[in-house]
Structure 1
Amino acid sequence: MPSLKELRGRITGVKSTRKITNAMKMVAASKLRRAQIRAEAARPYAETSKRMMGELASTVQGADVSSLPRLMVGTGKDQTHLLIVMTSDRGLAGGFNANLVRKTRQYISELQEQGKTVKLLPVGRKGAEVLARYYPEAIVETMTSDGGQGASFEQAISIASHVVKLLDQGEIDCCTLLRNRFVNAMTQVPEQFKLVPLPASEEQAQGSASGEAHYEFEPNEETLLAQLLPRNLEVQLFAALLESAAGEHAARMTAMDNASRNASKAIDSLSLKYNRTRQANITNELIEIISGAEAV
């Protein structure tokens, strides 16, 4: 049985831990509100841009790939896949990073079973550390995540430029993004979607096949696509960074709240054990005193 001194030390230690987790919960809660507003504000623009590009991609299905931008159709092959995995730089966020890494590993296994080559571009140290242990040869670049400080459009531009560089050099054929979608403070859902080639809109593809969809480009198709395609890639990456940042703060707030509750339960349990031990010691001392008095 632990001594009273040991129990007092453990109670003091758990109380100190509870102060830290409470402080981290409040910091995460204060950051979450701003991150949530930014993520929700970016969704309509990103979704509209994605839908518009999907409709545009559906109109060029079956066309000569060599005459189209690579950001739209890729290289025409489906052998080398680049996976952009967005996690956080810091831990103590529950299953935020672990769930996404698990989904990434499952997707990598599926691709490798099909004989595909996988390359990884982790954004965030936590994901990069785990993926580097399992797939050290697949890492092409590692970038930090600014989710804790607030995602920036400059970071999205940096990631997008790296993707464009790999495409232009012919090192990758496809690009897929994996990130956590922010739902609410309790829920973050790991998701994946194609960035390159652009996924075609099914409804628009059917309309195009029936001859109902027609587009006119001004000033011309090449000039318009040269501006829209890189900007769409940057917008999708920026929206993903914002979603990931909001999800990180929400996951950390929830994790620290649970940790604080568990610390309180541990303190109550240790305090009860301390009081029982103290009572038992007092009882033993009384018994010894009474026994000594009777012996005299």
Structure 2
Amino acid sequence: MATLREIELRLKSVRNIEKITKSMKMIASSKLAKAQKAMEAGKAYGIANKEVFTHVPSDKPTPNKLLIVVSSDKGLCGGIHSSVSKATRRAMANVEDSPLAGSNPNDATVDATSPIVVVGDKSKAQLLRVAGDNFQLTFNQIGRDIPTFADAAIIADLIITGNIKYDSVVIVHNKFVSAISYEPTAVEIKGEEALKESNAFKVYENEDDATKDFAEFSLANAIYAALTEGHACEQSARRNAMDNASKNAKDMINSLQMQYNRGRQAAITNELVDIITGASAL
């Protein structure tokens, strides 16, 4: 059984942890408000992309897909990074409930040999064990602050100039449902060749350079929307994780305090018994 001194030291340690988690919760709450504003701005880019590809479907199958996994470098935010990694593995294994379920049946699904671009060290470490040979590019230090369109443009530019062969790009990221929930989702962006072969897109009679520029810009738009939404999910998950940690620390403090009081009361009772016994013996 732990001594009173050990319980007292444990109490002091747990109280310090509670102070830290409460502070981190307040910081995450303030960052969440800014992240949600940035997410609303970033969603406008993603909605515009979705409308374009909805009204201009591609007739060309896209068997070669490039996976872009969006996470971050920071932890202490629950299982938010694991959810993206698990969704990626399900998509590569062609599981029915994967984020790609319900996509164009004429297109080949993502397979175990699909090239992967990872944003964030957390998902990189988780996917490295099962799909390390598929890695083409990895990025870190993105999302330490609110992501910008310049960050997304850099990622898109390196993908395009990296000689990675793909017909379409599938971006796997966390979708912001509410301040207390999120879910992994996937967004598919058609490549330049798929747009050129689209009968609906040919109606606009664009030049080759314009089609190429549009494909690059739409990729940057989709990455930017995924980065901002993933950042908002991360801040929300971190706030909830720190809130739960604070509650657990409080429960542990109450339990240890009760244990300390009982031990102290027992020690005092034993001392009184010794004093009374000694006095009776005299």
- Interval containing the TM-score (normalised by the shorter chain): 0.7 to 0.9
1:196 matched to 2:190? The reply is yes
The answer to whether the 8 A contact 1:50-1:232 is kept is no
2:8 alignment counterpart: 8
Q: Deviations over 1:35-68 (max 9, x none)?
A: 101111222332123211342334xx26xxxxxx
Alignment of 1:107-146 (within 5 A): 107-110=91-94, 117-146=113-142
Distance 1:25 1:238 in 2: 26
The answer to whether the 8 A contact 1:86-1:145 is kept is no
Aligned with 1:90 (options 55, 58, 74): 74
Distance 1:116 1:98 in 2: 19
Aligned amino acid, residue 235 of structure 1? N
Distance 2:141 2:166 in 1: 23
Cα RMSD between the aligned structures?
2.7
- Identify if the C-alpha distance between structure 1 residues 163 and 54 changes in structure 2 by more than 3 Å, giving closer, same or farther: farther
2:281 alignment counterpart: 295
Distance 1:170 1:45 in 2: 24
Aligned with 1:253 (options 231, 234, 239): 239
The answer to whether the 8 A contact 2:91-2:110 is kept is no
Deviation at 1:103, TM superposition (A): 1.3
Helix, strand or coil at the partner of 1:147: coil
1:105 alignment counterpart: 89
1:272 matched to 2:258? The reply is yes
Distance 1:5 1:23 in 2: 28
1:237 alignment counterpart: 223
Deviation at 1:82, TM superposition (A): 2.2
1:66 alignment counterpart: none
Aligned with 2:154 (options 154, 158, 167): 158
Flag structure 2 segments of 5+ consecutive residues without an equivalent.
96-108
Deviation at 1:116, TM superposition (A): 5.0
Distance 2:90 2:219 in 1: 25
Distance 1:88 1:19 in 2: 25
The answer to whether the 8 A contact 1:147-1:248 is kept is no
Deviation at 1:295, TM superposition (A): 2.2
Which shows bigger deviation, 282-291 or 36-45?
A: 36-45
The answer to whether the 8 A contact 2:91-2:111 is kept is no
- Identical counterparts, % of pairs: 34
Distance 1:191 1:248 in 2: 15
Q: Deviations over 1:94-151 (max 9, x none)?
A: 111111111111112228x986512221101111111112222122221015223110
- Give the number of equivalent residue pairs: 266
Deviation at 1:23, TM superposition (A): 1.0
